[in-house]
Structures are given as C-alpha cells and as structure tokens.
Amino acid sequence: MQLKQRVKKERSGRRTVKRLHVQKGGENWVVIDDEARRNEWATAFAADPSWAGMYDTLVSNPRPEPTTDDGKEKAVTQYVNAVMRQDELFDMAIRIIRKSLGIADNEPDILTKVASIEGRKKEMLEYLKDVHRIVSFNVMNNAGTKFNSIETDASESLASLLLYPARASNIFIQAISTIAVQLKNDANAPLKQTVTDNPIIKRIQADHFKAYADSLAFLKTARQLRDGFFIGQEIDPFRKILASSRDASSVEGDFWEKFVGKLRDLIKAPDNAQIESILGNPGTYVDINIPTIPKGTKSYSSISESWANITAAVVASYVKSVGNWDAIEFVKSFKRTPPAAEITNNMLKVFNNPVGGINVSRYIPNYTMLNSKIFGEEGLTLRRLYKQFNSYVVNYMLELAYMIQKMEPSVKAAVASTP
C-alpha cells in the first residue's frame, strides 16, 4: 500500500493548561473566563452551521445546568461531538487569532507583522487553551506536552504557529486515518495479503507506516512527530511508546510493529470476534486501563501493545465495514445492556481525585451528563464507556473514528485515481 501525502493549508491549534477555573454547570466544567474571548467564540460558532446550538453547552458563562433528561442528553451529545471534532475547534481558534491580529490568510502578511504580533503571543494562545477547556473540562498540568513547547520553546513563535498551524493538530491521528482509508480501498494492500504474515514483511510494513507518519509531521509542521494518542499527552512517553527496539533504543515500545501485527490478525479473521475481544460487544464489558507511563508491571512495551490493539481494532472495524464510514454509528456500537446492578458505581476510580471539593480527574465532564444517553442511544453513556476504558482512551477512539470519516472522501478519491 503506497501512502500518498495529503497536504493542505490547515488552521488548527491545541493547548493544555496549568490551571483552569471551574464554573457552575457541573463540578468539572471549566470556564472561559474572559468575556471578549467568549464573544469571539460565539461569533465563530454562529458562522458554522455544524456547530449550531453548541455554544451554550460548551462555552457560555455560566453554562446552563441541564435539569431534564432531554437537556442532559443534548449536552452529553454535544460534548462527545466536541471531542470527536476537536481539531476543527483548533481551526476555529487559529481563525480567531488571525482575525484578532488583522492577518490575512497568506504568508507575506505574517512575515511583515512578526515584530508587532509576538508581543501578543501569550494573549492569543489563550484561544488554544480554550479548546482544551471545551474538550477536556479538567484541571491539568501541561508540562512536557507539545503545547507547553509551543508556549515556551525559544524556537517557537506566534508567527511560526500561524505559518505551520498543523503543529497544534494531531498529525498522528491524521496519519492513522489515512492508513485506514487507503487500506480499505486498496485491494492490493500488503496487509490484505498472506505475504504480510511473514515477520520480515511485517517489519517492512511497520517501517513504512512509521516513515509515513514521520514524514507527514515534517511536511506539515517542519517538526518531528510530537502529538499523542489524546489531547495533552506528554511528548517523551508518546515517543517511547512509538520507539522501535531496532533503532538501538533503550526503550522498546515498538508500537508500529505491534499495530501491523494485530491489524493483520484482525483483518484476516473471518469474523469480528477478535475485535470484540478488544472493544467488547453489546453484552460484555472489557477492561482497558492504559497508564500514561510505566507503573508496576507495566512497561513501555506493554503500554504500546495496549495502544496498538485499540488502534488496530478501530482501524479494522473501519476496514471491514460496508459502505461509507459513519463515526456516530461506530460509537453507538459501544452501547451495553447489562443488568442495572452491574453498572452501579462503575469506574469510581475515575472520580477519586478530589482537590478542595473539585474533581480534577482527566477528561471527565460534569456529573449530570454521566448517565445520559449519547446520540439518544439507550445503553450508551459516558459512565458505561468509562467502565470499559480510561477516559483518555475514549477521547482517542472518538477523535480517530471521526477523523477517518472526515478524511475518507479525499483519500478514497486519491486511491481511486492511482493507476
């Protein structure tokens, strides 16, 4: 499978935060505490019909506290949509920054205004922090993340971010999505052939995928790949998870080889039983609890294997699907119908980190939404998702499923046009 570089002007930005204020609307909702910024977001949301009606739930201060079942279901569905489409929120943030700085959408204007805009870097980066506030609703430390680098690295400037807006988007997820779409639509892809069962061919394919992701990062950002599986993941652990033991590294994550091996197994299987063993099925729960760094018996190799399995299961679900991919329908496959007693107090460990009476666990929206139906689907709630997966694994799967859907038409067309 020959991967083709897809490059376009992208405006996006992403940022984590050191300390966020919490507001009414649920214990873990985070406020955008500047009225002028909220007004800019209101204008941006109003200009895009696909975000219609989401401003009140995601941005307004105070956010309305849902009291009815319909209101709660609407709020949780809007939150899940925001997680799925977080890179589009970063696109909005970059557009707002350009507008605020009076910069047209072309390179010369940026270059001629470098001196005047750099003094406003801290102010403008708040819009990138706002995306994290909207998507994650949490208080967290940003040390070691690529967003911390954007803010503090001497080689990073506001001008460089605007010239390379993809530095703040998730190139890794874009690369995985491109791989998925080309694999589904290329009848001659090696992963569909028995030749890939050969260990040597698996390593070659792993190197090919790794090279594609790395080159896409350099092409779009002029930087090494430094994203993460989820918003705010630290750069160093992410790189160690991806690192190949064949590169004379002391860390043996070997993500790409594990991803290729598992993906090949799932694709050649005659049914979806192996996928369900990873993701679960309507009658069963799985327990995926991936630590962010090695703990106890967990090494970077085992952490990498967990991420590779999750990634392969999502990609294989797409490759084995019929027709165009619908991310929402994929998310609906996570609905569960166990007895009520089986879901009582599930995943309480997610909420066991109170600080001053405020829950600061990662990626948990307010409690009023936990038991509300997502997309109106009975049996599909955040509580049931968190029973199975770390919240940041949920974050990753939602964004990956949507990115595949978003990129499918253009990548599929590129595959079809190749002799």
pLDDT at 73: 94
* Spatial CA neighbour of 321 closest among 401, 205, 403, 415: 401
pLDDT at 364: 55
Sequence letter at residue 87: D
Mean pLDDT computed over 259-270: 96
Q: Which tops the pLDDT comparison, 20 or 118?
A: 118
**pLDDT grade, residue 54 (50/70/90)?**
very high
pLDDT at 136: 74
Q: How far is CA 399 from the centre of its chain?
A: 4
**pLDDT grade, residue 22 (50/70/90)?**
very low
Using one digit for the tens of pLDDT, what is the confidence trace for 328-337?
A: 999 999 998 7
**pLDDT grade, residue 62 (50/70/90)?**
confident
Using one digit for the tens of pLDDT, what is the confidence trace for 119-139?
A: 999 999 999 989 988 887 655
Q: Cα–Cα distance between 177 and 104 in angstroms, integer? A: 30
Mean pLDDT computed over 395-418: 94
Q: Which of 128-142, 235-249, 308-322, 335-349 has the lowest mean pLDDT?
A: 335-349
pTM of the model as a whole:
0.88
Contact between residue 124 and residue 173 where contact means Cβ atoms under 8 Å apart: no
Spatial neighbors of 279 by CB under 8 A, at least 6 apart, are 286, 310, 313, 314, 317, 333, 334
**pLDDT grade, residue 149 (50/70/90)?**
confident
DSSP assignment of 202-251: HHHHHHHHHHHHHHHHHHHHSS-----SSTT-BHHHHHHHH--GGGT-S-
Q: Cα–Cα distance between 241 and 252 in angstroms, integer? A: 8
